[in-house]
Amino acid sequence: MFVQLNAKGQLTLPKAVRMQLGLQPGDIVELEVRGEEVILRPRVSTRIVVRTVPAREVRRLEGLVALGGDAMEDTERVHEP
């Protein structure tokens, strides 16, 4: 497979490669040079998803963040019907 270096020195990974490796915009890829070879390795990173949470949901969780206590008991209490 061949890719072309652009004027800025950048490469575009083909879509099939990105999909096979599960790469998304913003992901980190490690680059290693071995002699005349270039090796690219995807690095696992945590994706942060930001979403809006209604105030009533925040109030439901009030008081759960504290030192000590039983985390399992708190979790069960939050998820009670």
35-77: per-residue pLDDT in tens? Answer: 999 999 998 766 667 778 788 887 777 776 666 667 777 777 7
pLDDT top residue among 4 and 26: 4
pLDDT for 15 equals 95
- Whether this model's pTM surpasses 0.75: no
CA distance 25 to 69: 40
pLDDT for 31 equals 93
pLDDT for 53 equals 79
18 closest CA partner among 7, 3, 38: 3
pLDDT for 81 beyond 70: no
CA distance 48 to 67: 25
